Chains A and B, each alone.
Chain A
């Protein structure tokens, strides 16, 4: 596990020194528990103060779950945003399904979750891919600034609900901001969908 982390961090240093430093310094989160799925892959659960818990990825087969998730996505644009990274199984699946990408922005709210992902999965191919951008542990204002500058053409947004539901207070405003930005870009194309919404608001 530590070998994988070391290797991932090594690659990350080359791309995002600050993030690598931050990940090195933080202590693991005691509310996160690593668990082996039936398939032998890793998943984890996060405990709340009241003892309830939520799983990150399937307890049976995280890869299969991620393939199904990727297959269920609508249009996957060359420029895309994935909200909720977790252990990144679904990130690999989506990028593989898409093939060529211009830019992929991966938003993970919790540095400790990302630290855990770096421990259990080999993320080196993602880290080394210059089209892949990690936005880990950033506040909304920073994410908004980065994305409004970078996303200047229509993009697709892919929500991974199990991770997003762990931190709704962080992810929901990010999602809202992405939706507003995408809506503005699409409306500027004059696609006619606003007629549909106009009718729905009027009736």
Chain B
């Protein structure tokens, strides 16, 4: 079975498809899964064991160029034409499109025995090609409030699987865990328990507000003795500065990592934290994917039955207003008052309950609020995920497997092999771009590749116990990185390609034990 899955952007939405991918691999043991996405999302899936190949395009750049630089139309047209020809040639039996119109047209052009999700035909334009997708569309449009199925389970059903066919997954290789720990240490973390807080959400009506976050951060620091790790994108930097100022002396207990994390580091940081407090964000799904419990705040347009954190043991605070879930936030006449229904006190109470749950001290839980509900997520294989009101937890027997809670310094990543596989694939991906004439795309990504090697050197220096290998690698990699820097400045693609194919490949061989090349041999090649 040859399967193509299409989802272009929104990293939370892509992570929500990972249980479906796992389910497909279980159902069709010899299947080959190709995931088509945008370049920015490549790292989310590059080392997912259920994905055989990731194909990506710089979709954002294409869209920008198509609107603003008409001279690029022909190039983009030809690249998309070649892409469609390539996909056609792969003869997919099944295409699962989770990207609506764009994905529908691409699925139609590619062709497959079965197209699930949105499809396209010149006569009908876009249409839903399978009954489950049509049912999902109807549900969201007409009976959203009564929907009790998470989008993760909907995706499984669309793919012909039973709900609960897999778990959320995001690989954090050992080196990224190490880098996450180093980043935390550089910002003052020692061995104290860390709680992550993600303030922002993409839309302003989905943001809980700085005042509320300050309140809860102060409480975590002063009453619970925790250090708080602030997460978010560059856009939220102003908000973070505001919080730091208002925390006064306590701000030394806050670690501001806003704008400082890529996907891998974010995964590593979350893995190192005991909990995450967040709204309905991509970071929430990332946390669920790496096994860190979430306390999620849902209000406004966010509906927890639909997009709540997937997996057992997360807590969801839901502002269950009459008008919720909101469909037209721009027309709200109450000024988004639902955001204020959830108070910092609700969150602190939820936090205490979450702590009790993770210590397996589930006794009677008392949480009462007229407007706000507190739910515990409960996922079982073969069933839809459900959410149990916390007051009823004591009635439920045998809720197993709360997400684990990694302690700092406890390295249980995929080992060095996770990182070497990743960087090997990344090198091939770069060469492919260069060979296809996309030197611009190659240059955009090459610094990331070098960045990954710099991470590996830091890791080797601190963590490798075998001094011979460590020395050989450092002596091999240091001149290679220097030469790469020169070649990048000179746009010397040949040297960059040689470095990927030979010098960095040698380093990978040494790391994986496939080669016993000495430092001298590596160095000789570089200096020639």
Chain B proximity mask over A55-69: 1 for CB below 8 Å, otherwise 0: 111111000010011
A-B CB proximity, top 9 nearest:
A159-B437, A72-B435, A55-B494, A183-B74, A52-B490, A179-B74, A201-B66, A54-B492, A161-B439
> In the complex, are the beta carbons of A192 and B74 less than 8 A apart?
no
Chain A proximity mask over B405-435: 1 for CB below 8 Å, otherwise 0: 0000000000000000000000000011011
Contact of A197 among B73, B434, B501 (CB under 8 A): B73
With A52-B486, A161-B442, A200-B66 known, 10 other A-B pairs at CB within 8 A are A52-B489, A58-B497, A72-B431, A75-B85, A75-B86, A157-B437, A161-B437, A165-B439, A191-B84, A196-B102
List residues of B whose CB falls within 8 A of some A CB: 59, 62-63, 66-67, 71, 73-78, 80-82, 84-86, 101-102, 105-106, 108-109, 120, 122, 431-432, 434-437, 439, 442, 486, 489-495, 497-498, 501-502, 525, 528
> In the complex, are the beta carbons of A176 and B62 less than 8 A apart?
no
> In the complex, are the beta carbons of B491 and A201 less than 8 A apart?
no
Contact of B105 among A48, A158, A179, A199 (CB under 8 A): A199
Chain B proximity mask over A64-98: 1 for CB below 8 Å, otherwise 0: 01001100111100000001000000000000000
Chain B proximity mask over A175-197: 1 for CB below 8 Å, otherwise 0: 11001101110110001111111
Select from chain B the residue with minimum beta-carbon distance to A51: B490
> In the complex, are the beta carbons of A162 and B431 less than 8 A apart?
no
How far, in angstroms, from A107 to B155 measured CA to CA in the complex? 49
Q: Interface size (A, Cβ < 8 Å)?
A: 48
Residues of A within 8 A of B82 (CB): 74-75
> In the complex, are the beta carbons of B437 and A165 less than 8 A apart?
no
Contact of A72 among B80, B108, B436 (CB under 8 A): B436
> In the complex, are the beta carbons of B74 and A161 less than 8 A apart?
no
Check A118 for interface membership: any CB of B closer than 8 A.
no
Check A11 for interface membership: any CB of B closer than 8 A.
no
> In the complex, are the beta carbons of B490 and A53 less than 8 A apart?
yes
Check A21 for interface membership: any CB of B closer than 8 A.
no
Residues of B within 8 A of A186 (CB): 77-78, 81
Contact of B493 among A59, A165, A175 (CB under 8 A): A165
Residues of B within 8 A of A55 (CB): 492, 494-495, 498
How far, in angstroms, from A188 to B495 measured CA to CA in the complex? 40
Offer 5 A-B interface pairs, CB within 8 angstroms, sorted by A. Answer: A52-B492, A55-B492, A193-B81, A196-B105, A201-B63
Check A164 for interface membership: any CB of B closer than 8 A.
yes
CB distance from B440 to the nearest CB of A (A): 10
Residues of B within 8 A of A165 (CB): 439, 491, 493
> In the complex, are the beta carbons of A199 and B435 less than 8 A apart?
no
Residues of A within 8 A of B77 (CB): 183, 186-187, 193-194, 197
How far, in angstroms, from A73 to B498 measured CA to CA in the complex? 18
Check A26 for interface membership: any CB of B closer than 8 A.
no
Q: Is the interface of B mostly helix, strand, loop or mixed?
A: helix
Check A1 for interface membership: any CB of B closer than 8 A.
no
Q: A52-B489, A192-B122, A197-B66 are in contact. Are A59 and B494 (CB under 8 A)?
A: yes
CB distance from B71 to the nearest CB of A (A): 7
> In the complex, are the beta carbons of A53 and B492 less than 8 A apart?
yes
CB distance from B28 to the nearest CB of A (A): 28
Check A38 for interface membership: any CB of B closer than 8 A.
yes
Select from chain A the residue with minimum beta-carbon distance to B528: A59
> In the complex, are the beta carbons of B495 and A59 less than 8 A apart?
yes
CB distance from A88 to the nearest CB of B (A): 15
Residues of B within 8 A of A180 (CB): 74
> In the complex, are the beta carbons of A203 and B497 less than 8 A apart?
no
Which among A73, A160, A164, A200 has the highest number of chain B CB atoms within 10 Å? A200
CB distance from A197 to the nearest CB of B (A): 6
CB distance from A132 to the nearest CB of B (A): 20
Residues of A within 8 A of B71 (CB): 176
Select from chain B the residue with minimum beta-carbon distance to A161: B439
Select from chain B the residue with minimum beta-carbon distance to A35: B528
CB distance from A151 to the nearest CB of B (A): 13
Residues of A within 8 A of B81 (CB): 186, 191, 193
> In the complex, are the beta carbons of B436 and A164 less than 8 A apart?
no
Residues of B within 8 A of A179 (CB): 74-75, 78
> In the complex, are the beta carbons of A73 and B436 less than 8 A apart?
yes
Chain B proximity mask over A147-174: 1 for CB below 8 Å, otherwise 0: 0000000000111111011000000000
Contact of B437 among A48, A75, A158 (CB under 8 A): A158
> In the complex, are the beta carbons of A58 and B101 less than 8 A apart?
no
How far, in angstroms, from A57 to B501 measured CA to CA in the complex? 13
Within 8 A of B (CB), among A19-44: 38, 43
Contact of B435 among A69, A194, A195 (CB under 8 A): A69
> In the complex, are the beta carbons of B493 and A161 less than 8 A apart?
yes
How far, in angstroms, from A179 to B78 measured CA to CA in the complex? 7
> In the complex, are the beta carbons of B490 and A54 less than 8 A apart?
yes
Contact of A193 among B63, B75, B80 (CB under 8 A): B80
> In the complex, are the beta carbons of B501 and A60 less than 8 A apart?
yes
Residues of A within 8 A of B106 (CB): 196
Contact of B80 among A159, A184, A197, A203 (CB under 8 A): A197
Residues of B within 8 A of A176 (CB): 71, 74-75
How far, in angstroms, from A183 to B66 measured CA to CA in the complex? 14
Contact of B498 among A60, A175, A193, A203 (CB under 8 A): A60
Residues of B within 8 A of A72 (CB): 431-432, 435-436
How far, in angstroms, from A56 to B493 measured CA to CA in the complex? 9
Residues of B within 8 A of A54 (CB): 490-495
How far, in angstroms, from A195 to B66 measured CA to CA in the complex? 13
CB distance from B219 to the nearest CB of A (A): 42
How far, in angstroms, from A116 to B109 measured CA to CA in the complex? 45
CB distance from A55 to the nearest CB of B (A): 4
> In the complex, are the beta carbons of A162 and B102 less than 8 A apart?
no
Residues of A within 8 A of B486 (CB): 52
Residues of B within 8 A of A187 (CB): 77
Residues of B within 8 A of A56 (CB): 494
CB distance from B102 to the nearest CB of A (A): 5
How far, in angstroms, from A176 to B73 measured CA to CA in the complex? 10
How far, in angstroms, from A154 to B432 measured CA to CA in the complex? 23
Select from chain A the residue with minimum beta-carbon distance to B102: A199
Which among B122, B493, B494, B528 has the highest number of chain A CB atoms within 10 Å? B494
How far, in angstroms, from A57 to B447 measured CA to CA in the complex? 22
How far, in angstroms, from A57 to B497 measured CA to CA in the complex? 10
Within 8 A of B (CB), among A129-148: none
How far, in angstroms, from A60 to B503 measured CA to CA in the complex? 11
> In the complex, are the beta carbons of B493 and A162 less than 8 A apart?
yes
How far, in angstroms, from A165 to B108 measured CA to CA in the complex? 37
How far, in angstroms, from A88 to B431 measured CA to CA in the complex? 19
Contact of B525 among A43, A48, A60 (CB under 8 A): A60
